[in-house]
Structure 1
Amino acid sequence: MLSEKGFSLLEVLLSLTILSIAFLAVSGFFQQSQQVSTDNNNKLVAVNLARMTLDRLQQSPTSYGVQPPFKNNYNRTTCGSDTTCQGAFAEKINSKDYEITISAAAADTTLKLLPVTVTVKQEDIVTSVEGFVRYEK
């Protein structure tokens, strides 16, 4: 006569199989959420770097080697051999390289404001922040 005190080997194997399938489904979710979190962190760094660059440009445009009003795009290649200027357009944050580009539209001569767009690029992430720089002519 068989005793009904425990589980059979078949029942244990079946429950382990079901738990393994559930675990694999959930682990894929965690891996995907980790990737999304990393991408969002990189975007946040790029946005904050663009805002910081715009603030610094508003305080001291000459720190980027430009004198308002300017109409060109400025980036690391427009600095020539000036390493200080080149360093202003390239940042390394969290072991990732960020490239900064500053571009401007036509200046408003009555208000003495220059519309500026700061673009930060890191691999496939491109972020832009727009603002105004006051200049004296």
Structure 2
Amino acid sequence: MYRGHKVTEESGFSLVEVVAALVIFSIVTLSLTAFFINSMDYAKGNQNKTVMVNLARNALVYLEKQPFDEIKKYFITDGKYDIKCDLTTGCPPEVSKLVSNASVFNEILNPLVNDVRFKLTIEYQRDLHNSDTMLSSVKQEERNMAQLLFPVNVVVEREDGRSGARNTTEVEGYITSERIR
């Protein structure tokens, strides 16, 4: 049924317009992909940070269940600054005396979580405990309470050699005496 009309108007997109639209769409898609990859890395870092904080709290809870006077003697009388155990050689004898089960404590300080090995160090915060300047400005009741609390800092690090803020964390806490537990 061709009546002799010649079609002069073309409809649709030209090849150049289609290619230009595809290029623009690809650029937008790649930038969004980079955003989602960075978001996944950030979420994984937060997950590792949460794991490390929970490991530090676990170590504090375990240490709090041990004899307070032994821990106090270890830090104050013996003059030690930290508690740590090596995964292969275990806990040193002076650390083994502090806890009821040295092999369990070694696993607490060197845990394996999600196929990642962590290393925990428990540090005595000497500057917060029994500081003359701190204790001179507080009441006698608060000084007595300070004798029943032992400030520590638990440092958690990844053993796989990765560095950065998301691969190390610190949790401050107190080991309390049996008299106030």
1:76 alignment partner, SS class = coil
Are 2:34 and 1:28 aligned? yes
Are 2:17 and 1:11 aligned? yes
Aligned residue pairs: how many? 132
Corresponding residue to 2:168 among 121, 126, 135 = 126
Residue type at the aligned position of 1:8: S
Q: Provide closer, same or farther for how the CA distance between residues 83 and 2 of structure 1 changes in structure 2, counting only shifts above 3 A.
A: farther
Are 2:95 and 1:90 aligned? no
Residue type at the aligned position of 1:74: I
CA distance in 1, matches of 2:39, 2:155: 27
CA distance in 2, matches of 1:101, 1:21: 47
Matches within 5 A, 1:1-137: 1-58=7-64, 60-61=65-66, 67-69=70-72, 70-71=74-75, 72=80, 73-77=82-86, 79-80=91-92, 83-106=103-126, 110=144, 111-122=147-158, 123-124=162-163, 125-135=167-177
Structure 2: 5+ residue stretches without partners? 1-6, 94-101, 131-142
Query: Rg larger in 1 or in 2?
Result: 2
Q: Provide closer, same or farther for how the CA distance between residues 85 and 56 of structure 1 changes in structure 2, counting only shifts above 3 A.
A: closer
Residue type at the aligned position of 2:66: P
Residue type at the aligned position of 1:6: G
> 1:2 Cα deviation (Å)?
4.3
Cα RMSD between the aligned structures? 2.5
Q: Provide closer, same or farther for how the CA distance between residues 105 and 31 of structure 1 changes in structure 2, counting only shifts above 3 A.
A: closer
Q: Provide closer, same or farther for how the CA distance between residues 55 and 84 of structure 1 changes in structure 2, counting only shifts above 3 A.
A: closer
Structure 1 counterpart of 2:98: none
Structure 1: 5+ residue stretches without partners? none
Contact 2:59 2:109 in 1 (8 A): no
Q: Provide closer, same or farther for how the CA distance between residues 2 and 17 of structure 1 changes in structure 2, counting only shifts above 3 A.
A: farther
Identity across matched positions, percent: 30
Deviations 1:26-83 (A, max 9, x none): 111111111111111111111111112112221x226xxx932121211113714864
Contact 1:68 1:135 in 2 (8 A): no
Residue type at the aligned position of 1:130: E
Greater per-residue strand proportion = 1
CA distance in 1, matches of 2:171, 2:66: 16
CA distance in 1, matches of 2:125, 2:25: 60
Give the TM-score, by structure 2 length: 0.63
